[in-house]
Structures are given as structure tokens and as C-alpha cells.
Chains A and B, each alone.
Chain A
């Protein structure tokens, strides 16, 4: 019972039960609205009966040449709707849209300590591409995980990088 549709500003007023989750970041308004203004197709919400917000995914597409890729900025599901493969559905949606936009891969960052999430992404076909040292508020390392799309025929984008990098070495924020 999942209606997936584009995320709207009004959803920001109803996503508290999802965002009270301690691992879900609540960004400032210009961050959300920049995503909505630039990449509305990469920002989707899943709604259940009674118009309850079940979860959402926000992302973007960026890069040059073979680095042109989809990026998952956040994917989150309300606790009431977990263990129903909703995150998988939302991830597939973003991957499909990235495919349509001829992206070479999709990537995301995850806290190195967030094992449940890392395992889930691995199940969805993502591999750890590299470690980003002290990515989260200068404290915790982040893992840059990637999944190659059909455009990347030789799957070059997911060959793991040999050494950890620092946040200032990142090509994109």
C-alpha cells in the first residue's frame, strides 16, 4: 500500500515521525528546497493509507563524463513501516531514474558504524568503493558505496579505491 510520488514542500510538515529517527538528518530548508528545485525527480515520498508518510528518498544527479552519477543523499523509512522492503523499492526508483538520465553509477555515503544499513546496501548490490575519513561532523568515518549502472559497461566505477580519502578530496559534496 504504497503510493510513491514526488516529494512536495507540504510533506516537510508531515515527515516528523520519520525524521525523529536518530539516524535521519533534518536539513535546513534551503537544502531540501534546492533538491526540489533542481532534482525533483530524485526526491520521492512513499505514502500509506490515511496519507501517512512511510518514508522517502532524496538524491541528485551530478558529475562530468564517466563520473556522471546518481547520488542518494538520504533514504529513510518510518519505524512502523520497516522490514517491508520499502527502502529497496525507493532505491530502485532512484536507480531507474539515474538509468534514464544515463548515469554511470549511483553512490551514497553511510556511517561506517551503521552496520544494518551497510548490509542492506550490499544486498541491493552496492559495494564499498572507498572510506572517507571523519566524513560525519569530523568525527565518524563514512563509507562511499557504489552500484554501477548499465551505462558503465565495464563496471569501472565500482573498482574499490585503494586508500581512504579525506573529505576535502571528495569530488562532490
Chain B
């Protein structure tokens, strides 16, 4: 806290110092006492009030804090107020911000600035208020005022940034840019510019208006010297020239960049794109992209047809000779750029319609000769080799293998090369076509190669990557493929063993942990998956990009505690970030890093629109509802705190859905589940899946986003529908007692109908058709198998429709005699048949990974829970508030067909859950050793030629071999490895999951029993 002239907020500093000290040392009670004393002395001091409010807020008394702040605010507005300074205002601002009342803080500053129009400090405070509120126009106006007062460059730039923000993140038209340009021009004419970032912003303003020539002129003038790094300046010039279609000059500039930075791949692509006069899709509107050039650089599109053959040829050869020269000049073995450039040039030549003269392959082989030992070889060439035909791919692979066989190099390099060949095989999808025995052989070879080469890592530190680590990941991938093709669980068990084996030797390899987590989750060993997840230390921004490795599995599980904690941690991270980002934006303003201002605001928007954020907000509430579903009072409390589900409905409004951002980093996911929505192992193996990669790519883009939007829409309706269902059940009975339906009944019915229409749409049908479907199933005319969407959504639909029907008596859902509601029977029938169908397919989790357990969990914990809530609500309103049933009215209710329907529904749910509980219980009760024997038998080699067991045997042999030459660490790890302990872990984790679920079923049955008794 600062003070001036020994005064703090108009009070002598010595009087407030003790309060500051108490606050700093978190002695809030003492601080409060002192603040009260201070107020007695200075009752009209806004600062003394602000201090008290600050302390009250820190003591967890927000309401009192707000009321004291409002007193202070009132004092500030008095004409005869004694003292107003920035310290008072900023203290009030802190409290208002913590109370989530930014508007009040802004209004204090606005008032003060009106009173003291030339106080720069206060104006900066006001500017900061507008930054916090993302009020770009007001930011601009305030900055201009400050600029007018002192004429400083920084305030002008604050105004210019605010204009940029109006254009890029607000509703301001691009015309505003010319205003920004004019302001800058005028300032430069009289004062020039002094900050590099100011120049960057100026160039960006010009560039966004497509005034490339003007921007180039600025850059080549005196101001250009503000850019400290010569290459950065050249890159900017190159970009501007290219955008101005002055390709020759741009190519020349990029050549210069490459001469000093030959490994700069982005500059090479720009250089080459300019030579071929390609439109390189420089991003247009986003100023940040232009400023920090963070966009992805695409390959120049292969449409160089506008060049004549002669010109195209001459450009290609000039690129080639330039690149060759770069290659000659390179003194460093690590520089790959110019060699990869040769491949790109040959690729373009090939795409340009030239007869293939083998040069493209030659460039690839050359690259292989030089860099095939590197771990990144495959990802370097990935985007080039995808254009090869199947025959060429086979030919290339053959040549790679030949080089490998004939080259004599160090063992480490030879190992790297062998790994590269395996990776290329993986990339080409060769393994999808291998016969089973060959695949088995490949997996075994990989494991053996890893073990054989452990000696190379003998002297490495535990912290360092070991040589050949990738072999185990690849072996595991092959084993999963074997499982997919043969459905033999033994392969899947071996896939987990291989990774556990690797982690036993070096526990830090995240590339093993992630696929292992997915495999365990798929096998229902969720707690084992979670244990590995915890060791990854996924926190902060990694929660946004990496939670997808575990969260979707957790959400479908009965592990509520861990799931809840995961979501809580994520939401806290996102909320903190979204709250803090405005202050950090102001920090960027203060430090004159203007490009970061724009970047931060854009990033905030991206974070705010995160798909995962919306999803977790929804799932967190749904989880709470699931946890407390057995107690209707608690459910009502939860819904009340969540504004009865209304806020969450907003997550699925059209604008929100359109602007969703997908920030998950899916790169590290296993091949068999490229996105959380896709799991190939749940589908039959497709012959000819060599083209799987392309299929994955197609899946990845549009489809994923579409599924995600649908998902949000369906989920967002649930909390509100649960709330309205409870309400509707209450009204329905009241209506029976008092036939004059109140206004709120009508409202509920109308809103429910509207939401049910949306729900039906989100599962693929108009409302009436969807009702026909559930009626069709109930009449035995349709089956669950005919439905496109998942069973859970349909059961939910039937349950909510029933609740709505209690009030609305929809034609078709009322019995023929008019006394009963068919919708109860529909729900009962659906519950019964659906449970029976799922249970019929349900196999023990131990030997049937990816089975129906998650569906059963969702049925019981979600759908059935919602239905039980409807029942509870009905019963609650039927029975008088006292526990004892009264004579008369209540007895009448007892005899009503309505009550009979409820009774039947309770019975139906009980039967369904009992069946599920039995299925789960049968699995838990098996002795662990018996389960272990079953799993071990699946990984034992049989007498036949093929089948799981080879890899297990290879691991066991390696573990038991004499390994003293590998050093204590590796040798100790090998000796301690035991396949049975890994399998035991799987069994224990599966049991944990089943036991959780068993308990939930038990508690639901208990509740239903008590409801039955009350009817």
C-alpha cells in the first residue's frame, strides 16, 4: 500500500500502518478491531471504511463488506467529501472485485475522475476498471483523455490497442482502424515512436487495412531500427511483400533469413511459397496472429498451375540450388531444415504434374540416410510420405530396410534406425494387413529388441530417456491391434504388461502411462488408470488440454469422489484464470507489451468458450444430483443453488454452441481411441483398415465437434428437466385435489414441452416422432436396437415425458378409460426391457473389456434416479406433511389408479436394480486367485502356433535372465518385475469399481423399499 506525504487516504500514515501490518500477517480480528477504532476517529473517511470493508471481506463476511463499501461509495459522492485519492479508490476496487461487483468499482472511479478531471493516477485506475470489464470503447476514450493530458506515447498506444480490440474482439468495424492509423501518424510526425511494440502495433494496423506498401515503408525507414533482431525484421518484411504480391522481393528476403537461420522451417515454407507465387493463407483479421505469427504455416497449396511450365521449372531449380548451397554451408549435424526442404521441393515438383523421375524418393532416402536414427524422423516426413501410392510406400519401406541392413553405424544409431522403420510401418498401416503370426512376431521382436538394448542405457541417469523406449509403446500398440483383430483378451493383457514392464524400469515415461491409462479404463480397472493419471501431475493448463485422457471414463463410473475432485480442480483453475486474466492484460499495458494485450483478450475468449468448460460445468451439477439423488430435499437445495438449472440451459444456446472452442490436445491419445467419443475396440475390426489413418482424420475434425455440440445440448437440458419434473409431479397431484390449475402449472407444462422438444431433437427426432418411438417400444413394435442414439437418452426422454404428462395428459399417453396415464407403463416397460437387454449382453468385466457396465451405471445413477425423484415428488405431495397418513383424502389417493401406477413403477425399478445388483455381486464374490488363474491362463502360450503368450514369455525370460551387466538400477528393476502382480492390480481395480456400484444399487433398493412401504 502506498502513501503520499505521510497521508494514506487522507489519514496520517502512522495511524493506519498497524492495520496494514495486521492485514499482511492475516491477523484479521486484530485488524478489524483497529479499523473500528480508526473509524471512530475518522467517521467520514472513505478510506477508513474501505479498509474495514477489505478486512470484513477477508474475514468471510461478504454482505457486511458490501454494505460498508457502499457507505464509502456514498461518501465519495458527497460534494463536501474530505479526501479522495487513488489509494482509497484502489482499496475499494479490490473489495468490489472480490465481491464480484466490478460495476461499483468502476462507478467510484468514474465519479472521482469526473471530479478531478486531470488526475492521471485516477484515470489509470479507471482505465484498469474498463480493462476488467472488457469495455473497449470506454478504454479508448479514457486513454485518449490521458494522452491529451500528457501526450505520452504509451497512452496513445493504450487507445490504439483498445481500438484493435474493438475490431478483433468487439463489434467495432474495420473502419476504426483508420482512426488508429491517423492517431499514430499524427503522433509519429511530432514525436516519432520509441517502443518496439508500438511499431509492431502500427505495422499491424496498416497490415490489417492491407496497406502493405505503407507498412514496408515504415519498416525500412528510421522506425525499422526499433526491431532489435534483424531476422525478425526481415520476416516481417517478407510477409508484407508476400501479402502485397511482390513475390520475387519476398522470396529474396526469406532467402536472407534462411542464410542466417538455415533451420527455420517456417521461413523456408514462406520462401518456397513466394517462389511459386502461392497464396499462403496469411491469416487476415486477427491482429495477434500477425503480431506474434503464431498461426500454423500450411504448405503452399499445390496449385502452382498459373505459372508456365518453364517458369515453374526454373523456380524449382533455383530453389533446389539455393537449398543445396545451404546444405553445403551447414557445419552442424543437427540441422535438418535444408534436407527436409529438398523433399518439399521434390514434392511440389511431383504435384506440379511432372513425370516422376524418382527425385522425390531420392530426397526421402537421402533424408533417411542422414536422420533416420533420430526419434523425430517419422514425424518430420509424415506429411510428405502420405502422398505416396501404396506401391511406392512398399518400395520405400523396402529401401529403408535395405539401408538399415547394410549400414554400419554405432549401436545407438542402429537402434534408432530400427525404431524408425517400425514407426514408418506403423504410419503406413502395414501392420493392419499382416497375418496374425507376423504381428505376434513383430510385437515379440520389439520387446526383445528393447531388452537386448538395455545395455546401451546402463550408464544413463534415471532422469534421462532410455534408448529404445519407444519400442515398448509400439509393441503395446501391436498387441492392442491383435486384440482388435482376434478378440483374444490375452493380447490386451500383454499390451498392459509391456507398458508396466517399461514403467518398472523407468517410472517417468509418460508415453507409457497415457496408453496404459486408456487400456485400464477400457478394461474397467479405473482406479489403476487413475493412479497413473495422478503420477502425470496434470494441473493448471494441462487440465484443459489433458483431462480428456481420464475424465470421460470417470464420468461414466461410480467413482464419484475422484470424479468430483477432478472437476472441482478443473473448474477452480478455469475460474481463477478467467478472473485474473484482465489484471494480467493491464500488466501487459503497463509494461508496454501491446501485442500481448490483444493476445490475452483473445485467449480469454478462447478459454471462456471452451467445450470442456461447458461440459464440466454441466457434469459437475449432474454429478451432485447423482450423489444426492436419494434425498429429494437435498436435490431441491442443489437445484436452487444452481438457479434451478436455468443458467446451464444457456450453455446450449445457439451462439454459445457456435463459438465453442476445442482445446484438448489429442495428439497423445492411443491410436484406437483418437478422440474421447471414438473407440475402435468397441467396433468390429474392419478388413482393409490400412486406411484407418485417413478415417481417423475425417473423424477428428467436423464430426467430433458436431457430436460435442449435441452432447452439450442434451446434457444442458437435464438439470432443468429434473427440476421441472419434480415440480410437475407436485402440481399433478395438487391438481387432483384442487382442480383449478394455477398459473405456475401452466408455465411448467409449457416450458417442459419446449425443453422436451429440444431434447427430442438432440436425440435425432421431432417430439411427436420421439413419443411414437417410445410408445412403439412399449407396444413391442420397436426395439432398442432400432434406435440411433444411446439407450440412456431415450430412457431419460421417456421419464421426463412421463413427468410432463402427469400435468399435461398428452393424448396418446392417457389410458383408454381416461383414468390412468399410459406414460407410467411406457417408462416401466422401457426400464424392464432395457435392463433385460443390457443384462443379457453383460459379460463378466474380468474377461470382457469394454462391456456394458458403464451403461448399467448410467441407467441406475442417472435415468433411474430421475424417475425415483418423480416418484418421491408424487408421493410427497400425495401424503400429508405429517408422516402418519390421514383418513379421508389421502386414502382416496391410495386407491387412485395414479397410486397404483407409482406402486408398479417402484416395483419395476426394484426388479431392474436387483437384477443389476445380482449381476455385479456375482462378479465380486469370485476369489481373487481364481480370477488370477483365469487371466494368467490367457497369457500362457498354448501348443498351437499362434495366440497370446509370446510377449509375456519374452518379458518373463528377460526378467529372469542374468542381468548384472545392465547395472544395479536396471537389473534390480528387471528382477522385481512380476506379471502376476500386474494382473492382480487389474482384478483389484475392477473389484473396486464393481463394489462401488454394488453399494449404489444397494442404497437405491433400500430407498425403493421405503417408498414402497409408504404407498
Contact = CB atoms under 8 A, between A and B. Distances in A.
A51 interface: yes
B488 interface: no
A11 B296 CA distance: 11
Given A5-B294, A22-B508, A36-B596, A81 B603 contact: no
Given A38-B587, A51-B297, 13 more contacts: A1-B380, A2-B264, A5-B294, A8-B599, A10-B294, A16-B545, A17-B665, A20-B536, A23-B463, A28-B540, A29-B573, A36-B593, A36-B599
B438 interface: no
A5 B537 contact: no
14 contacts: A5-B292, A8-B599, A22-B508, A22-B537, A26-B541, A29-B577, A30-B576, A30-B580, A36-B596, A38-B593, A79-B469, A81-B375, A114-B463, A117-B463
B464 A52 contact: no
Interface in B262-306: 263-267, 288, 292-294, 296-297
A155 interface: no
Contact of B376 (A20, A48, A51): A48
Interface of B: 228, 261, 263-267, 288, 292-294, 296-297, 332, 334, 336-337, 340, 374-376, 379-380, 382-383, 461, 463-465, 469, 508, 510-511, 514, 536-537, 539-542, 544-546, 573, 576-577, 580-581, 584-585, 587-588, 591, 593, 595-596, 599-600, 602-603, 606, 663, 665, 667-668
Nearest to B374: A84
A116 interface: yes
A27 B265 CA distance: 29
Given A8-B294, A22-B508, A30-B580, A37 B461 contact: no
A1 B258 CA distance: 11
Given A2-B264, A79-B511, A82-B465, A28 B593 contact: no
A80 B375 contact: yes
Nearest to B574: A29
Contacts of B380: 1, 48-49
A3 interface: yes
9 smallest CB-CB distances across A and B, nearest first, come from A9-B603, A37-B588, A20-B510, A3-B266, A8-B294, A37-B587, A33-B584, A1-B265, A29-B577
Contacts of A74: none
A114 to B, nearest CB: 6
Contact of B379 (A14, A21, A80): A80
A158 B720 CA distance: 66
Contacts of A117: 463
B596 A40 contact: yes
B564 to A, nearest CB: 22
Contacts of B267: 3
Interface secondary structure of A, over-half rule: helix
A50 interface: yes
Nearest to B228: A100
A36 B288 CA distance: 13
A158 B145 CA distance: 49
Interface secondary structure of B, over-half rule: helix
A26 B539 contact: yes
A80 B709 CA distance: 34
B584 A79 contact: no
Contact of B340 (A1, A27, A52): A1
Contact of A36 (B376, B540, B573, B588): B588
The residue among A13, A21, A51, A80 with the most chain B CB atoms within 10 A of its own CB is A13
Nearest to B293: A5
Contacts of A114: 463
A17 B668 contact: yes
B487 to A, nearest CB: 32
A21 B509 CA distance: 8
A34 interface: yes
B334 A85 contact: yes
Contacts of A47: 265-266
Nearest to B590: A37
Given A1-B340, A37-B596, A40-B596, A51 B465 contact: no
A19 B288 CA distance: 24
Interface in A45-97: 47-52, 79-82, 84-85
A12 B596 contact: no
Contact of A50 (B334, B383, B606, B663): B383
Nearest to B513: A20
A49 B785 CA distance: 46
A120 to B, nearest CB: 11
Contacts of B461: 115-116
Contacts of A84: 334, 374, 376
Nearest to A100: B228
B603 to A, nearest CB: 4
A134 interface: no
A28 B337 CA distance: 34
A52 B541 CA distance: 18
A6 interface: yes
Contacts of A4: 261, 264
Contact of B580 (A8, A16, A29): A29
